[in-house]
Amino acid sequence: MREDTIYWRSFEELTNHPDFVKNSQNEFNLPTAAEQDEAAQAPDRRDFLKKVGFGLTAAALASCETPVRHVIPFLAAPEQIDYSNANYYATSYLLEGEYCSLLIKTKAGRPIKIEGNKLSSITRGGTSARVQASLLGLYDSARYKKPELGKKEATWAAVDAKLALAVKSGKKVVLVTPSTPSPSFNEVVSRLKASIPTFEHVVYDALPNSGIIKANKINFGTGVVPSYDFSKAHTIVSLGADFLGTWVSPIEYSRQFGKMRRLGKQTKHMSRLYVVEPLMSLTGANADVRIMAKASQVGAYAAALYNAVSAKMGQASGVDAVTGIDTKAIARMADDLVANKGASLVVAGSNDPAVQQVVNAINYTLGNYGNTLNLTIPLLTNTGTEEGIASLVTGLQNGSIGTVIFSGVDPVYTHPQGDTLKGLLKNAVTVSLDHTPTDTSDVCGIVAPGHHFLEAWGDYMPKPGFYSLGQPVITPLFQTRQAEETLLKLAGYNGQYYDFIQAVWKTKVFPQQSIYTSFTQFWNYTLHDGIFEVGRPSLRGKELAANGGDLEAPYEYLSISGTAPASFAFSNRVAATLAAKPASTGMEVVVYQKVGMGAGTQGNNPWLLEFPDPITRITWENYVTVAPEVATAKGISLNECQTSLVTVKVNGKEYSLPAIVQPGQDPNTLGIALGFGRKVVGKAGEGRGKNVFPLVSLAAGFTDYIAKGATLENTSETYMIGAVQTSHTNAGRPVIQEATLAEYQKEATAGRYMPKINTPDGPMNPTDLSLWKTEVNKRPNHAWGMNIDLNSCIGCGACVVSCNVENNVAIVGKQEVVNRREMHWIRIDRYYSSQKTRDEGASNTELETAAKNPRVTFQPMMCQHCNSAPCETVCPVLATTHSSEGLNQMTYNRCIGTRYCANNCPYKVRRFNWFSYPQNAERFSIGTFNDSLARMVLNPDVTVRARGVMEKCSFCIQRIQDGKLQAKKEGRRPVDGEIITACAQACPTDAITFGDMNDPNSRVSAAINEQYEERAFRVLEELNVRPSVSYLTKIRNT
């Protein structure tokens, strides 16, 4: 730079304007604090902090609720805030009682991806399909964009005025919310109580755990949902509890469960899971031993199990022999449980307190409390009971209630008496604080829309001592307002909720720790970590170094190993009555939750609607699942996507739905999923399936999901359903390789199919053969590879949605799914076992029909990145070639769409753009491509594919490049675990490992090397296409 030249960025700088000088210092206060702090840290965690360090700035940046001084435009951004770099912010998810600690990836100020936060010792970086998809709720064009009064857009002032009036009516003011374990929200409620004498807070959870709570109240005097630890349980008995899919806190349990399913040179033991259930649930699909039973029989099973266990433990159970159940299985369970007493766990899905009491009794007898269950650190995310909503109904009937405020609940849809409620609501001033229209908000006179959780502040305490912060990651898109602020206004507090939370934390949370001296510091780092767990040292500093970049908290921190409860009040009569209770006669309808849909809060989310159900592999709607024998009797058959409509009559209600033949389902049970058929939902969810909440009933005041005395008629009317898989068994082919634990312990290669090719030099491994002398597969730098443990994969499908989000995968709609053209880059093949094996001389047809109670295997399948890729050879225009890092690359620009590659792919993982999915609103109006708002979710690093080109899994090459770039900028090699695909990131059980196979220490190399010529296999090895993806055999602890 020449002396005589002055370089300047703005006139202010040139003129050295005082404001400029001031701002240039003030503006950067927060980040520089962070930077200095970073500088002091060990190199291992540099990369992580580099990303989340921005959180501090960005927390401010994104939150318009906070005073303007925090807003830093990209124009004058601190240097680490780079328009083209992704920033990650920690926040929290709580929906339908499912809690998850998250990192939100934002690019150019837009949230574009949700990832699990490994710092949380509850969810440990796991996510679920629903969590992954919740991102799109932010960009849902059905959202309320302005406050409304009587369905007319209004100003906030007007709304506030109305509200102020409404609460002064002198009549009762009821706030209805789902259970919200949030210190600040509780503070809001108490303030409202204080300022409005007639105020009442009703907690309403659509799918309550009231049975568990009641049982614990009776048995232990504390009405709570305990913490379960499946990672300590060697024997697990689930009586119809789908704890891997939908029961209480699935993400947490999946992670724990997955830990117990890992096998290797060191660990030759795994947990054994017994499941007794009427329908085929995700948990049932992962069971080692699965017993089909009528839902109304499960109680009897519980009693019988209690009986057997007590007998073994030398106690009286007061239960006589239970009839009509699989006693052999019970005996076996009992043996197993007792053998592992203290390290076993029995859970029940039933909401009947009696059943739960018996289960408690079993666990108590086995001394599981304090080991695998903990009452002192209960789970607070779903503690609602039926009383609340009942009181609301009565209150509305007798006119004592003047105002009802709904926030985050949709009783009109989810409550069995929804329609009655709907009528009654006319008698009161009704307010909705929801951000998106629901059947309930639709009847509300006042709509004061709150934020989507990605726009809002929040704090949670899913378990006592486990705190979690929620921060906005984007400026509110519409004229919505933090629900709590709307409420606080009624309590006469007009400040920002941000300040409110801080105030609460200063007094309530800050004192619980001793690491940080100043609250600001504590706040900033907690916000950065997203969580604060009492008694746990800061995650920053030496712990991270110890974990070598792998940020998952060690399990010790899940400090739920509390003490066994002092007293246990249980009368054997409960068990006895259960045992005596006869199973209902005739058919039962069991209404259940789909892994992807739950109670339907996200009913307008096309990602979830097109997400194939892990078990049935069907998309877009609900249906009646029917046991095979019933299907044959009623003449119901599934032919490809064609099935027949059936009418289900029960409790005087009638449903006409498509029928699905479901192996492994109790013949006297029909299953229908909740969460569909919302009336007010939005374009994507419009008219999808039927609403079966009306079938939910109250048995002695407790929500009951079983409707007895059902009839099924086949209206031989054909109906097309969007199934992505229509052949259900592996047809006796070694595409999945499995063995029992016993076999595995004897011989590590058990269940392996090791094809040999006969050559003049004797039989050889396919991979040792080649036509070519020259080796062009050189991997000078990296060799990316993936390993999938079929044992810890539970098939939940979080990876599928995660991939859709990350890679801008097109949503094609039901009709195109029916045409067998869904675009998913990763799919989870679900295979049932057939009655007879090929060795037992089964015919093809027999091999292709599933057994009555089949063993289930899930196999995530995506591009295998073959090193001798058949797809590459046949492409005429070199549109798909191999990279020097072992990636099978797809060059969209070059593709002319002959589809030869897809035909020649033995794994059928290539997807073709049959139409123009973007810029095609008339054909594909639903989805993320043709909606100006939803389009904001698209990942700017990934091309949106044009019509007529082929596409497929790219191993998230954009993530690889990003990671390499980061490392390069810092002049180092990428650290293992730093570059990881979207599917691997989302996996709650860490079944998918991704990394560099050139690095002998990488986890993927370790996984493969350790299990080399043992469990590690490649699908269709005999074809010698040399995939980069390897699998570990499925081992069943039968």
Partner 1 sequence: MEHGPKKYIIGVYADDDVVLQAVPQVRAQGIRIYEVYSPFPIHGIDPALGYKRSRLPIAAFMFGATGLTCAITLISLTMGSDWPLNVGGKPHVSVSMVPVVFEGTVLFAALGMVGSFFLASNLGPGSKKVIFDPRASDDKFIIAIEVDSNKKTPEEDIKQALRNTGAIEVYEKEVEV
Partner 2 sequence: MNVTASIRPHLVNGGKTVSDVTNDISRQVESAPTRLWWMAFGASLVLLGWGSYCLLTTWFVGIGVWGLNKTVGWAWDITNFVWWVGIGHAGTLISAVLLLFRQKWRMAINRSAEAMTIFAVLCAATFILAHMGRTWLAHWALPLGNTYGSLWVNFNSPLVWDVFAISTYLTVSLVFWYIGLIPDLATIRDRAQKPLSRFIYGLLAFGWNGGAKDWSRYESVSLILAGLSTPLVLSVHTIVSMDFATSLEPGWHTTIFPPYFVAGAIFSGFAMVQTLLLITRRVFKLEDYITVEHIDSMNKVIMVTGSVVGIAYITEFFIAWYSGVTYEQYAFTNRMFGPYWWAYWSMMSCNVISPQLFWSRKLRRNIATSFIISIVVNIGMWFERFVIIVSSLHRDYLPSSWAMFEPTMYDVGDYIFSFGLFFTLFFLFAKFLPVVNMAEIKGIIKGSSAPKEGQLKEAQPVQPATASN
Q: Measured from the CB atom, is 641 or 934 closer to partner 2?
A: 641
Closest CA to 880 of 907, 862, 902: 902
- Smallest distance from partner 2 to CB 731, Å: 5
The string over 186-195, giving b where at least 16 C-beta atoms fall within 10 Å of a residue's C-beta and e elsewhere, is ebbbebbeee
- Put residue 1020 in one of left, alpha, beta given phi > 0 → left and psi -120 to 50 → alpha: left
- Smallest distance from partner 2 to CB 829, Å: 4
Binding-site member from 177, 440, 867, 928 for partner 1 (CB under 8 A)? 867
User: Which pairs count as long-range contacts for 918-921, CB under 8 Å and 24+ apart, including other chains?
Assistant: 918/810, 918/944, 918/946
Candidate ranges 40-48, 317-325, 422-430, 814-822; the one touching partner 2 (CB under 8 A):
814-822
- Smallest distance from partner 2 to CB 869, Å: 11
Under the criterion CB under 8 A, does residue 883 sit at the interface with partner 2? no
Closest CA to 159 of 405, 392, 402: 405
Under the criterion CB under 8 A, does residue 1021 sit at the interface with partner 1? no
Using alpha carbons only, what angle is made at residue 93 by residues 87 and 99, rounded to the nearest 5 degrees?
Answer: 135
Phi, then psi, of 173 in degrees rounded to 5:
-115, 115
Q: How far is CA 74 from CA 31, 62, 63, 115, 629, in A?
A: 14, 11, 14, 24, 64
Closest CA to 824 of 841, 847, 805: 805
Binding-site member from 27, 704, 822, 931 for partner 2 (CB under 8 A)? 822
CB neighbourhood size of 769 (10 A): 10
Per rule CB under 8 A, count of chain residues that contact partner 2 = 60
Binding-site member from 619, 622, 859, 888 for partner 2 (CB under 8 A)? 859
- Smallest distance from partner 2 to CB 285, Å: 15
Using alpha carbons only, what angle is made at residue 788 by residues 785 and 792, rounded to the nearest 5 degrees?
Answer: 155
* DSSP symbol at 246: T
- Smallest distance from partner 2 to CB 842, Å: 13
Closest CA to 288 of 794, 810, 986: 794
Q: Measured from the CB atom, is 342 or 897 closer to partner 2?
A: 897
Tokens at 987, concatenated: 């996996």
In angstroms, rounded to a whole number, what is the distance separating the alpha carbons of residues 70 and 629? Answer: 65
Candidate ranges 456-464, 576-584, 874-882, 921-929; the one touching partner 1 (CB under 8 A):
874-882
Q: Give the per-residue contact string, 936-975, with partner 2 (x = CB under 8 A; - = no).
A: ----------xxxxx-------------------------
Q: Is 413 exposed, middle or buried (0-12, 13-18, 19+ CB in 10 A)?
A: buried
Instruction: Detail the DSSP E strand segments found in 43-177.
Output: 86-95, 98-107, 110-116, 148-149, 152-153, 172-177
Under the criterion CB under 8 A, does residue 729 sit at the interface with partner 2? yes
List CB contacts of 837: < 8 A, sequence separation 6 or more.
732, 847
Under the criterion CB under 8 A, does residue 738 sit at the interface with partner 2? no
Under the criterion CB under 8 A, does residue 872 sit at the interface with partner 1? yes
Candidate ranges 153-161, 633-641, 719-727, 872-880; the one touching partner 1 (CB under 8 A):
872-880
* DSSP symbol at 103: E
Under the criterion CB under 8 A, does residue 39 sit at the interface with partner 1? no
DSSP 274-333: EEEESS--HHHHT-SEEEE--GGGHHHHHHHHHHHHHHHTT-----PPPPSS-HHHHHHH
Per rule CB under 8 A, count of chain residues that contact partner 1 = 21
Candidate ranges 343-351, 541-549, 713-721, 881-889; the one touching partner 1 (CB under 8 A):
881-889
Q: How many CA atoms lie within 13 A of 128 on its CB side?
A: 33
Binding-site member from 830, 855, 959, 1034 for partner 2 (CB under 8 A)? 830
Q: Measured from the CB atom, is 715 or 777 closer to partner 1?
A: 777
- Smallest distance from partner 1 to CB 690, Å: 49
| Binding partner selected for residue 777 from partner 1, partner 2, none, CB under the kind-specific 5 to 8 Å limit | partner 1
Q: Measured from the CB atom, is 60 or 901 closer to partner 1?
A: 901
Q: Give the per-residue contact string, 754-783, with partner 1 (x = CB under 8 A; - = no).
A: ------------------xxxxxx------
Under the criterion CB under 8 A, does residue 848 sit at the interface with partner 2? yes
Under the criterion CB under 8 A, does residue 911 sit at the interface with partner 2? yes
Binding-site member from 538, 881, 943, 998 for partner 1 (CB under 8 A)? 881
Q: Is 518 exposed, middle or buried (0-12, 13-18, 19+ CB in 10 A)?
A: exposed
Under the criterion CB under 8 A, does residue 903 sit at the interface with partner 1? no
* DSSP symbol at 678: -
DSSP 819-851: TT----SSEEEEEEPBSS-TTTT--HHHHHSB-
- Smallest distance from partner 1 to CB 904, Å: 10
CB neighbourhood size of 756 (10 A): 12
Under the criterion CB under 8 A, does residue 870 sit at the interface with partner 1? yes
In angstroms, rounded to a whole number, what is the distance separating the alpha carbons of residues 541 and 226? Answer: 32
- Smallest distance from partner 1 to CB 912, Å: 20
Q: Measured from the CB atom, is 499 or 1022 closer to partner 1?
A: 1022
Under the criterion CB under 8 A, does residue 756 sit at the interface with partner 2? no
3-state helix, strand and coil shares in percent for the chain, rounded to the nearest 5: 30, 20, 50
| Binding partner selected for residue 899 from partner 1, partner 2, none, CB under the kind-specific 5 to 8 Å limit | partner 2
| Binding partner selected for residue 882 from partner 1, partner 2, none, CB under the kind-specific 5 to 8 Å limit | partner 1
| Binding partner selected for residue 148 from partner 2, partner 1, none, CB under the kind-specific 5 to 8 Å limit | none
- Smallest distance from partner 1 to CB 733, Å: 24
Q: Measured from the CB atom, is 171 or 947 closer to partner 2?
A: 947
Closest CA to 884 of 750, 996, 1022: 996
Tokens at 74, concatenated: 């990209």
Q: Measured from the CB atom, is 595 or 909 closer to partner 1?
A: 909
Under the criterion CB under 8 A, does residue 882 sit at the interface with partner 1? yes
Candidate ranges 78-86, 311-319, 457-465, 827-835; the one touching partner 2 (CB under 8 A):
827-835
Under the criterion CB under 8 A, does residue 1029 sit at the interface with partner 2? no
In angstroms, rounded to a whole number, what is the distance separating the alpha carbons of residues 821 and 951? Answer: 12
Under the criterion CB under 8 A, does residue 733 sit at the interface with partner 2? yes
Closest CA to 131 of 985, 955, 935, 994: 985
| Binding partner selected for residue 819 from partner 2, partner 1, none, CB under the kind-specific 5 to 8 Å limit | partner 2
Residues that bind partner 2 (CB under 8 A): 640, 725-733, 735, 816, 819-822, 827, 829-831, 844, 848, 859, 861, 870, 873-878, 894-900, 902-904, 906-908, 910-916, 946-950, 1019-1020, 1023, 1025
Residues that bind partner 1 (CB under 8 A): 772-777, 866-873, 875, 878, 881-884, 1026
